[in-house]
Structure formats: C-alpha cells, structure tokens
Amino acid sequence: MAKVPEIFGSMVFNDQKMQERLPKSTYKALKKTIQNGEPLDLSVANVVAAAMKDWAVEMGCTHYTHWFQPMTGITAEKHDSFIAPNGEGQVIMEFSGKELVKGEPDASSFPSGGIRATFEARGYTTWDPTSYAFVKDGTLYIPTAFCSYTGEVLDKKTPLLRSMERINTEAVKILHLLGKDDVTRVTTTVGPEQEYFLIDKDAYDQREDLIYTGRTLFGAKAPKGQELDDHYFGAIKTRVAAYMKDLDEELWKLGILAKTKHNEVAPSQHELAPIFTTTNIATDHNELTMEVMKKVAERHGLVCLLHEKPFAGVNGSGKHNNWSISTNTGENLLDPGKTPENNLQFQLFLAAVVKAVHEYQDLLRITVASAGNDHRLGANEAPPAIISMYLGDDLGELVDSIINDREYVSKGKQKMRTGVDVLPDFMKDTSDRNRTSPFAFTGNKFEFRALGSSLNIACPNYMLNTMVAEELSEFYDELKDADDMDAAIKALVKKVFIEHQNIIFNGNNYAPEWVEEAERRGLLNLKSLPDAMEHFLDQKNIDLFVKNKICSADEIRARYEIELESYSKQINIEALTMIDMAKKNILPAVTSYVRDLTDTALAKKALSDAIPTSVEEDLITSLSNKLVCFSKKTAELEEAVIKASDYSDDNLKYAKYYRETVFALMQELRAVGDAMETETASEYWPYPSYGELLFGV
Ligand code: ADP
Ligand code: MG
C-alpha cells in the first residue's frame, strides 16, 4: 500500500488540486464562495468545470453525476457522459460551467410529500461548492442540493446549508457584541461515530428478511449473545481486519478522515469514527462512508448491515453525532476553558444550547425517529425516548452555582495515580462519561446519541443549528442595548438556567424512576415515530423553521407526510415479507419435519409396540399446536395488512395503525415462529440461524 499521506484525498478535487489546476483569479473567486458563501459567477464556473473535467478524465472518468440527498434517506445520482460530437463523426470530452452548476433530474419519482403533482416532473440540482467533487467508479461526483421547478426544497442538504448560514449570522452578531470583532465566520462541526454489523454474504443471501428489510423478522436467540461482554473492543478477527483496512484506504482516498475502528458490544458489530469536520462535509462524508462500507463488504464476501436493529436480543446500531461550534479564528465556542465560572461567552453559548434542547426536545426526538430506530430508543441499549441533557459534575456544579448565587468550586483536574512506577501518571478528565444520556456534554462538544445507524445526519444537524441560532438571536435582542454587558449576560444566563434546568439530568437514563421523574418535570416521552411526528407541525416548530427561513410551512408539512408514509411503507414491506416467509418456507418446513417424525413413530410402532415413541409424539403434539397458532397468526396479519388501506387517506392514522396493529401482530407471529425454530431440527429449518449469522464471520 502507498503511504497514507499520498493516497489521502487522491480521488478528490480538493483545495490542493484547485490551486494546481485553476488560474489564480478563478481559484480566489471560488475560495470566496466556499469560505464566505459569496455567489459564484458563470464565467468562473466555466473555468472550474473545464479543470475538473480534465482532472476527472485523467483519473479515467467518462461520466459525471450530480450527487444529491432526496427525501428517500439515501443518496441519488444520474450519470451523464462527457461526450460531445465534434461535427466530424468524432467526439470530444466536454463539461461546461452550466452543467457543473445546474442539473435537471426528473423529480417526479422522488418523495415530495404531496407538495407537487407527478406531472410536474422538473427538478433542479445545484452545485454545492462548499463540498469537494470526487471521483468514484469512473464517474466525477458533484455534491448538489435538490429542489423542485417551483423552488420547493426536496432534499436534506438545502435546509442544512441554510441552517449553517443562520447560526453563522447569529453567532457572529453575539461575538461582535462581546467585542470579538475579528470573528467573521462561525461554523458548526460534526464527528459522527458510525456503528454497523458485518455478516457472511452466503448466510445473508439465504435470508429474505435481511434482503428485503435489512433486519431479521424471525430468528430464535443463539445460545450465546453479548452477555460476556467479550466482543466490545475485542481483538479484531482476520477477515474483519482485512475489511477494515480496505475500508480505511477507500475512505482516505475520498478524503474522509477515518480515524478509529473497533469491535462493538454485539457479536459481529463494529464501529468507525472519523475526525470531525464542518457539518456539511461531515454529512456528505457520512453518506459516502455508509455507501463505501457496503461496497467494500461485497469484495470480502461480507454484507454490511446499517439497519438500526438487525437482530433481536442483542444491541442495535446507532450513530453518535458529536457537535460543536467554532470560529474562523480557531476558537471552539463550547470549550469551557480553565475557568468556566469567568467565561461569560462560554456560559452564553451553553445557555443557548440548554434552552434550545429544552424548548425543542420534540424536534430532536422527531429527527431521530424511524421505523428502525423505534426498536432501539428506550430499549436500554440506546438512550431513552425522553430527551434530556447531561452536563457532567463540573458544568452541573457551575449551573447550580449560577442558579443559587453560590461560589463555584471546580473539582479541578486530578492526577490519576496508577500506583505502578513504570506507568506514567496522567491528569484525568473532570467528568466521567454518562453513556445513558441522549445529549451529553463531553468536554468541548455535545454528543447527540439517539441517532439511528442509517440516518442521514443532515436532519438532526439542521434542527440543532436552527434551534440554537434562534436562541442566539433572542439573546442578541435582549443584550444589544445593555449598558453593562457583563451584568446583562450574567442576568440572562441565570434566568435561562433557572427556566430550563429541567432538561438537565445527570443520572441514569435507563432507570425506570427516570420515566416518572421526567414526567413530573414535564418532559416529553415520545415512544414511536407516529407519537413523535404528531408534534412536528406544532405552531412553535413551524414558526422556528419559517422565521429562520429554513423551510416554508408547506415544506414542513411535506416532510411530515413523507416521514409518516415511509414509516408505514416500511412496516408494510416487513409484514409482507413475514407472511411470505411464514407461508412459503417456515410452515412447509415444520410440516415436513412433523410428517417425518410421524413416519418415524409409525414405523417404530409397526416394528414393535415395545419401542417408545413418546419423544416423537411430544414433539409432534407441541409443533402441531404451534403450527395451528402460527397459521392463525399469519392469517390475522394478512387480514390486518389488507385492512390498512382503510386508513390510507390520513398518513398519521395510517402510521399509527401500522404501529399499533400490524407491528403488534408481527411480534406475536414472530414469537410463535421462533418457538418452533427451537424445536425443529436444523436441517429442516429454512433459514440460517442467529448463531450462524452472528458468529459466522
Ligand atoms: P469517544 O466519544 O468514542 O470517546 P472522542 O471523544 O475521541 O470519542 O470523539 C468522538 C468524535 O467526536 C470524533 O469523531 C471526534 O472527531 C469528534 N469531535 C471531537 N471534537 C469535536 C468538535 N469540536 N466538534 C465536533 N466533533 C468533535
Ligand atoms: Mg462517543
């Protein structure tokens, strides 16, 4: 393998390549757009496009694609070749500024939430120059935003970019108020930790549930799960290590800062974390990472599962969204510094986050809601569905001292003494970690831990950016005319902490008492996507998005419809898959086992009455009873799925029906199926077992 610094970013049209390949004036103009968000001239775009194309063709590309993030939850691409006829029966390779800046995919088959009729097929993609173009599989990829002909936003990137502008504007205003005139730009940063499962491709290919839905719909527990805690951080198996090495290389080539890899809690579960970067790029990179993870797995005869809950009974997969705010002068605004008690700027930004999370806890919950993630939240493996914040001992004490006008006494950094001479002593962090909190302060950033593994992180981040921008803008209005700025900030911070301290919880979020305590505090406990979504259209939320120009009321409504509809569709697919598995494979398999048991018993009896047949008879009875129940439950589920159409004209009712009726029946059917699996000889069972799936690599 070539040295890492040599391959890093080799597939990316990054800053270095721009400097090498663009005339100085073009480079400067483009840089202004990237750094300050200034509009880009078509003449500049023409020069950039030509240079990009030359580089891409040298890299072996024949095509380019506008790469975008529609509301499907995955990325989309449509490839066009660079060829243009030269008039003499030959072709030349061409790429204009117009083609770089604007694309026109047919938008009619992407979800629009009823915002537009399908006959209005036109949609536009627009180049996002803040995220570098890259080469993948012989195509030049251009990151873009996606909207309809009439300008409605149809993607996840546009609201994110808008929210970044909003928080920039408001944070800069506040910093100028505090005398930080050298700050001209503020950006949010994100480092997403990505969990995933790796299983053997041959086993995967035999499971239609995994193929159609990404998770197992049947499957009795293996004798061993994760109870020994021997997988977490365990030595990485050879085949997995080879995969991870290959994956790192592919990601590095794409300029993705892949940093940490380790085994996770469940068998066959792993994690990859990059070094943090600007939120927009972190989002594009995370989408790309998930795609590359799947692709590289194929090369190793493996399948990478990104579903939130592929297996019952062991942990599911999430994503930790580490989020902070920093300035162009290199300052992290969520860094408390050595004396947070005197750091009014930090206190103000902390207060903005506390107030935002409290007031918009429903939005944070909504943004991580999905059919897959419903299996995790509140299931004692992931944070609960109740949103609260963990500040740790030190900051918790700071907030208490401010609320109660007490002097703040920092616990201070303490020396960790190992008691072994050859081991160096070191300073330990002032706060331990609280792994159970959905939104935890971790030193100089917040870690939002409720995300599902397959989620596009654009959504939680545009919510976070927007809600914090909103609080900062309110703070600005309150502070801007103050005579004594320090006194005004102190009073404001104190007021905010008093009014919003209910969102702060430093205890065990998995404890049943927390549910009651949270209720006393008036915090929401939205258990499923339909429960959460109901709040999306609350007036305060619509006001937030409209006032901050992130989305219009119609666009919010569209997003609401899309999320609910896709939830119902997903459960519908799962139900149909279960019915198929039940009728075509499980029922016939168990029946044939029972028939063979019966034949055996009859043969024994024919030979001699003295031969005991109680084993066969017991099994025949037990399985036959279960078959009756199984077949009945399958029929009930079939009927429930047919009935769903009664609710289809209201997406919320439709989703609730799927959750409360269809999903509930699926659980019942699964219980009977899994019980039969434990009694059926493995040679008869039509699917690879949990043991084979989870311990097969
Ligand atoms: P862990 O939480 O697993 O102990 P770390 O605390 O080292 O891991 O970091 C987790 C993630 O947080 C990494 O992706 C890291 O790059 C990211 N991170 C660190 N600092 C920031 C920051 N200022 N803004 C956003 N993400 C950050
Ligand atoms: Mg973490």
pLDDT more than 70, % of the chain: 96
- Name the residue at shortest CA distance from atom 22 of ligand 1: 324
Determine the pLDDT at residue 152.
85
Determine the pLDDT at residue 72.
86
Alpha carbon separation from 483 to 173, 402, 486 (Å, rounded): 17, 21, 9
Ligand 1 pocket residue status of 591, Cβ below 6 Å = no
pLDDT class of 73 with cuts at 50, 70, 90: confident
Determine the pLDDT at residue 414.
59
Candidate of 276, 280, 346 to mutate for ligand 1, largest count of ligand atoms within 8 Å of Cβ: 276
Ligand 1 pocket residue status of 129, Cβ below 6 Å = no
The token duo for 336 is: 């408390």
Mean pLDDT score, 70-75: 88
Report the distance separating Cα 367 and Cα 371, nearest Å.
Answer: 12
Ligand 1 pocket residue status of 360, Cβ below 6 Å = no
Q: Which ligand is nearest to the CA of 335?
A: 1
Determine the pLDDT at residue 432.
55
337's torsion region: left (phi>0), alpha (psi -120 to 50) or beta? Answer: left
Report the distance separating Cα 64 and Cα 78, nearest Å.
Answer: 8
What pLDDT, in 10s, does the model give residues 411-429? 665 555 666 666 666 565 5
What pLDDT, in 10s, does the model give residues 553-585? 999 999 999 999 999 999 999 999 999 999 999
The minimum-distance atom of ligand 1 relative to the CA of 444 is 23
Q: Judge contact between 159 and 551, C-beta under 8 A.
A: yes
Which amino acid, one-letter code, is at 374? D
Domains and CATH numbers, the chain: 4-155 (3.10.20.70), 163-551 (3.30.590.10), 567-694 (1.20.120.1560)
What pLDDT, in 10s, does the model give residues 443-477? 999 999 999 999 999 999 999 999 999 999 999 99
Element containing residue 305 per DSSP (H, E): strand 302-305
Q: Judge contact between 146 and 69, C-beta under 8 A.
A: yes
pLDDT class of 227 with cuts at 50, 70, 90: confident
What pLDDT, in 10s, does the model give residues 351-389? 999 999 999 999 999 999 999 999 999 777 778 899 999
Q: Judge contact between 199 and 300, C-beta under 8 A.
A: no
The number of CA neighbours under 13 Å toward the Cβ of 26 is 20
Is the pLDDT reported for residue 316 higher than 90? Answer: yes
Determine the pLDDT at residue 18.
96
What pLDDT, in 10s, does the model give residues 251-305? 999 999 999 999 988 999 999 999 999 999 999 999 999 999 999 999 999 999 9
Q: Judge contact between 413 and 430, C-beta under 8 A.
A: yes
The token duo for 615 is: 């084993």
Radius of gyration over every alpha carbon of the chain, rounded to an integer in angstroms: 28
DSSP structure class, residue 122: B
Alpha carbon separation from 585 to 261, 303, 311, 575, 637 (Å, rounded): 38, 23, 20, 15, 17
Question: What's the chain's average pLDDT?
Answer: 93
Q: Which ligand is nearest to the CA of 449?
A: 2
Mean pLDDT score, 506-535: 94
Determine the pLDDT at residue 2.
74
The number of CA neighbours under 13 Å toward the Cβ of 696 is 19
